[in-house]
Structure 1
Amino acid sequence: MEQNKIAGILSILLGLIFIIFPVFSTATLSIFIGLSLVFFGIVLILSGFSAANILIGILAIIVGLVFLFNITALSFIFGLPFYIIGILLILGGIIGLISDSKISKITSVLIIILGIISFALGGFSIGQPLFAAMLIGVALIIEGIRLYLD
């Protein structure tokens, strides 16, 4: 139980950081996405030397490097993080609904709703990526409250 309370408090604090400092949070999120894509590309290239693996790996590395070093060059696809976040939130909420995990059903439904809202905001987010940080912050706070109350 003690671990849930600590995780809940940390989740709430992280959610507040995302809401209070959305620019910092968005930049950090872009860095994590960039690093993930670079590592994914490297692993994909090394996992098999087929033409498809090498091509997709190289593309993943290039896009990852753009996310890392020239975030403004991607201003035309600022909606993409909303779509990614929305899909992940929706999938996480569905998994929470159908699994036997300790995630409450109400929390799972709220996360699905946030995912749908995030997906809808993808179209409105061109030039304004701060909405993603706000949605992540709200989701973290909701999950943190759930963890703390369990």
Structure 2
Amino acid sequence: MERNQAAGILSIILGLIFIICPVFSTLALTVLIGLSLIFLGIVLILSGFTAFNIIIGILAIIVGAAFTFNIAALAILFSLQFYVIGILLILAGIVGLFSGPQMSKIASILIIIFGIISCALGGLSIDQPLFAAILIGVSLIVKGVSLYLE
């Protein structure tokens, strides 16, 4: 079995776990991210006693603690990502509408629509943290199928 196929199968399995058990997977993911950030903060502080390392290390520990003890932290981060992507898509679509013949007007309108959908998904994931887990699961399955078919 090729490496891509093995990664694809693993991605599909993880995606199914995220969809079937969204509470467990969201909790596990937030704790894993939190502990990773706490470890990163400790390593940054101990790696060099510069002001930059200490400040970034302390921030990483604080954010890591927020992730470790708060399941909604992942949903907030996930929704912010959707909002940023949505705003960028909307801006790119508007620029495309006024850029002249270089870009199709229909493509620009579709980009704006996808930007609005992305902002809506951000709103849904901030209201319901489990929605983020289901979106992650679907993304993992799509990427797994893509990897498997390569």
Give the TM-score taking structure 1 as reference length: 0.65
How many Å apart are 1:77 and its aligned residue?
7.6
Q: Is the 8 A contact 2:30 2:73 kept in 1?
A: no
Q: Which runs of 5+ in 2 are unaligned?
A: 85-113
Secondary structure of the equivalent of 1:125?
A: helix
Work out which of the two has the higher radius of gyration on C-alpha atoms and give 1 or 2: 2
Q: Is the 8 A contact 1:82 1:122 kept in 2?
A: yes
Residues 143 and 76 of structure 1, relative CA distance in 2, 3 Å threshold: closer
Task: State how far apart, in whole Å, the 2-side matches of 1:35 and 1:85 are.
Answer: 24
Task: State how far apart, in whole Å, the 1-side matches of 2:83 and 2:34 are.
Answer: 18
Residues 86 and 25 of structure 1, relative CA distance in 2, 3 Å threshold: farther
Which residue in 2 is equivalent to 1:46? 46
Q: Is the 8 A contact 2:30 2:74 kept in 1?
A: no
Secondary structure of the equivalent of 1:49?
A: coil
What is the aligned length?
122
Secondary structure of the equivalent of 2:146?
A: helix
- Selected match of 1:81 from 46, 64, 78: 78
Which residue in 1 is equivalent to 2:88? none
Q: Going by fraction, where is helix more abundant, 1 or 2?
A: 2
Q: Cα RMSD (Å) of the superposition? A: 3.1
Q: Is the 8 A contact 1:80 1:122 kept in 2?
A: no
How many Å apart are 1:76 and its aligned residue?
7.4
Which residue in 1 is equivalent to 2:58? 58
Secondary structure of the equivalent of 2:49?
A: coil
Secondary structure of the equivalent of 2:126?
A: coil
Q: Is the 8 A contact 2:66 2:73 kept in 1?
A: no
How many Å apart are 1:15 and its aligned residue?
0.5
User: How high is the sequence identity, in percent, across the aligned residues?
Assistant: 63
After TM superposition, the runs of 4+ consecutive aligned structure 1 residues lying more than 4 A away are: 84-87, 116-120
Amino acid at match of 1:30: T
Q: Is the 8 A contact 1:79 1:126 kept in 2?
A: yes
Task: State how far apart, in whole Å, the 1-side matches of 2:13 and 2:130 are.
Answer: 18
How many Å apart are 1:27 and its aligned residue?
0.3
Q: Is the 8 A contact 2:74 2:129 kept in 1?
A: no
Task: State how far apart, in whole Å, the 1-side matches of 2:55 and 2:33 are.
Answer: 19
